[in-house]
Amino acid sequence: MRTHEPELQRVVVIGGGTGLSVILRGLKQEHLHITAIVTVADDGGSSGRLREEMDMLPPGDIRNVLTALADTEPLMERLMQHRFTTGTGLAGHNLGNLLIAAMNEITGDFVTAVKKLSRVLAVRGDVLPASNQSILLKAEMEDGSIVVGESQIPLAGKPIKRVFLDPADAVPLNDALTAISEADIIVLGPGSLYTSIVPNLLVHGLFEEIQRASAQKLYICNVMTQPGETDGYTAADHVEAMYRHVSVPFLDTIMVNSAEIPPHIQEKYAEKGATPVDSDIERLKQMGLSIIAEPMVTFGDGYLRHDATSVSKQVVALMNRRKE
């Protein structure tokens, strides 16, 4: 039974990192009910310190999503994202992370803290951690070695065979399962394949709910490869990696970028070992996927970003086509 805004189509977006936040900024401009299910395996930087020192879930990805969905003044957004550069103990911390940590301490529960802060920030939608348990992400590399920690996996410099959770039986929130079951569309990505997207699928029971859901399942593919994580991957390789982790095909549609990446942008990314993701259209068709191939990037400040408005319009159009 739907309890919130029954006239709105319902979008569940699953992932983490900056890619998820960019897409949410576009979706919140549409007439939709949005639920963001966010990975909680981050163990680096300010999030990692708070996780260790305060025995709480890492707040970084949650903070980015809250800020993206918030109906706030630009100054409040700057405050949420402000990172201290000086101060004993403060340097390196992000103000938004500290706000979440404070609310967590006040309420005694991370999920309640996020809900209350959502109200303070007038967030448009629901923001949920994938699990309310502390999760450590590990990776088995192709050479058999094990790398421990989300922040360490891309630094290993080895091809990844699989990632897995510790504990393996981490359970999802009931609210997340309900949102998935009621969704009109479930969107995965864009974002780091092995450290932002796949970890959500490994939370015990979450993928099973995705598989059962009648909603369309859409994957928004990254535009560039990620050094240490998806070196040389095509779009089809991204999909196959997800399927390998859950042992079954489950996606209906993939969205890939069709715009040419300017040479000077490619050169900038090549310095860090990143290259454009080949769309690999024929292989995607052989996998039975519907394909949305559209220009969906912006090139501001010399870096690539998904065009949040264009991507969101495509998501809405996809839902409407099915509705009709």
**Is the CB of residue 150 less than 8 Å from the CB of residue 172?**
no
Write the pLDDT tens digit of every residue in 159-193.
Answer: 999 999 999 999 999 999 999 999 999 999 999 99
Q: Which two tokens stand for residue 257?
A: 């970028």
Average pLDDT, the chain: 93
**Looking at residue 5, what is its pLDDT?**
45
Query: Tell me, what amino acid is at 282?
Result: E
pLDDT surpassing 90 at residue 315: yes
Instruction: Of 187, 182, 213, 184, give the one whose Cα is nearest residue 200.
Output: 187
- If one compares 75 and 279, the residue with the highest pLDDT of the two is 279
DSSP labels for 173-239? -HHHHHHHHH-SEEEE-SS-IIIIIHHHHTSTTHHHHHHH--SEEEEE--SB--TTTSTT--HHHHH
Angle, CA 195 vertex, CA 11 and CA 189 arms, to 5°: 25
Looking up tokens 């103990």, which residue turns up?
89
Per-residue pLDDT, 299:
84
Res 45: pLDDT: 87
> Would you call 286 helix, strand, or coil by DSSP?
helix
pLDDT at 6: 55
Distances (CA, A) of 106 to 60, 64, 178: 19, 21, 27
Residue 73: pLDDT band with limits 50, 70, 90:
low
Query: Per-residue confidence at 75, pLDDT binned at 50, 70, 90?
Result: confident
Structure confidence at residue 3 (pLDDT):
52
Put the strands of the sheet holding 146-148 in their side by side order. 146-148, 136-141, 160-166
pTM over 0.85: yes
Give tens-digit pLDDT for 117-149. Answer: 999 999 999 999 999 998 999 999 999 999 999
Cα separation, 316 vs 304, in Å, equals 23
pLDDT in tens, 192-232: 999 999 999 999 999 999 999 999 999 999 999 999 999 99
| Token code pair at residue 308 | 């949040």
